[in-house]
Structure 1
């Protein structure tokens, strides 16, 4: 099935002034088909003024990244307008290619992510359940309940860490797609998930910088959120223990 894409602006605007000769010059249009992208089929005016619709055969994402051939830039016979047309064509091809590549690369990663997100949600729910159990725990059994809490914290931390590893992979794939196509033609990972029958709307996937551009020791997003949750719970337990006049117990959660 042919793929189409419409561009409303030039992808190769040099900013050079345009001059109209005083006397019109008739030239024979040069054939640039030898520089067309291999999957290019045709182009035609779009629905809106200044918009061109490009038709391509379907991309798989395995093709090399579409780039205007260097030989076209070096061809001294081609006019600036023809180079611009080729640049717009290859820009349209690059958008379609980037989306095809994301679909091909992200689909298997998304399927691996499903049980990891499920494990995290179960671990977090268990952490919350164990914490709330203190409301029903007798004073003499607080230490046992504290052990259960620390076990739940460790399990949640392990689940969050496993999730962050695959979330970083998906964030990098998404960033690669945007780098090739631009934010105006972004394909979100959640959309790819929906296309393969998965609901990723609640998944915590941050921008790739949140996983890569961190200070030493700074946690990744989900681990940071978990750390804040654990800190809040422990401070509350310390407060309650102190109010109950049990300084020894007050030191256990901290």
Structure 2
């Protein structure tokens, strides 16, 4: 199976960017153009062809990457090859740029899929814990005055479960954030492959998952609050604030 990608870089029939000078009519004293050097020896092993596409683009075709290959690197030898002109050097560089994009996406799929499968039940656990937290807090609207302390105990338990689930989720989400950042760093953010797309290809619905940018997960030394834990703590603080307001309004001597 081959993969293609289009970049804005029109080619002529030789697979190179057109040279405006070649469009001028040749006169009797015009020297014959120098023979075009063969660049095929610099092709990436997965490269198949480059073809003109619509809207001044070029479609590059490669055999499928697995993600296990070494990262495609522009051959150093081409810079020492005096037979190559500037357009040919640019054509090779562009080819390897496309190869890097396709390779980075293949590597993300390879590395992220097992992590996504691990993450799926952990997100479900967080959703269950969060729903329980919301329901226990909402039950205060129907709890008689004499039963509030018991309901507060239930709320404390629900808070603990929710925070634990958030910590576990953030641990796996941080790994996914690192993988996504590595892919974008190689391909460029304009060619970023969303984790939701990788998950969908694996039959996993990750559309509701909360995965923050990689820098929000910290290094475990300078940052102690990870993104979902922070969100959960904020929600818990709001709930406790409401309960404290009720205690004050009711004139309770011991605040919640």
Q: TM-score, normalised by structure 1?
A: 0.89
- Distance, in Å, in 1 between the alignment partners of 2:179 and 2:252 is 52
1:85 matched to 2:104:
no
Counterpart in the other structure of 1:8 = 8
Contact 2:67/2:103, CA 8 A, preserved across alignment: yes
1:27 matched to 2:18:
no
Instruction: Say if 1:217 and 1:85 are closer, same or farther in 2 by CA, change over 3 A.
Output: closer
Q: Which of 45, 48, 53 lines up with 2:55 in the alignment? A: 48
Deviates more, 1:237-246 or 1:157-166: 237-246
Query: What whole-Å deviation, never above 9, does each CA across 1:95-122 have from its counterpart, x for those lacking one?
Result: 1111111111111111111100000000
Q: Which runs of 5+ in 2 are unaligned?
A: 11-18, 25-29
Counterpart in the other structure of 1:15 = none
Deviates more, 1:1-10 or 1:64-73: 1-10
Instruction: Say if 1:32 and 1:54 are closer, same or farther in 2 by CA, change over 3 A.
Output: same
DSSP-derived class of the 2:186 partner: helix
- Distance, in Å, in 2 between the alignment partners of 1:175 and 1:48 is 30
Post-superposition shift, 1:19?
Answer: 9.9
Post-superposition shift, 1:62?
Answer: 0.7
Aligned residue pairs, count: 242
Counterpart in the other structure of 2:149 = 143
Counterpart in the other structure of 1:37 = 44
Counterpart in the other structure of 1:98 = 104
Counterpart in the other structure of 1:110 = 116
- Distance, in Å, in 2 between the alignment partners of 1:149 and 1:110 is 31
Counterpart in the other structure of 2:185 = 179
Instruction: Say if 1:19 and 1:54 are closer, same or farther in 2 by CA, change over 3 A.
Output: closer
Post-superposition shift, 1:141?
Answer: 2.1
- Distance, in Å, in 2 between the alignment partners of 1:121 and 1:9 is 47
* RMSD across aligned positions (CA): 2.2
Post-superposition shift, 1:76?
Answer: 2.9
Deviates more, 1:19-28 or 1:190-199: 19-28
DSSP-derived class of the 1:26 partner: coil
Q: Which runs of 5+ in 1 are unaligned?
A: 11-17
DSSP-derived class of the 1:4 partner: strand
Post-superposition shift, 1:182?
Answer: 1.2
- Distance, in Å, in 1 between the alignment partners of 2:137 and 2:144 is 14
DSSP-derived class of the 1:176 partner: helix
DSSP-derived class of the 1:44 partner: strand
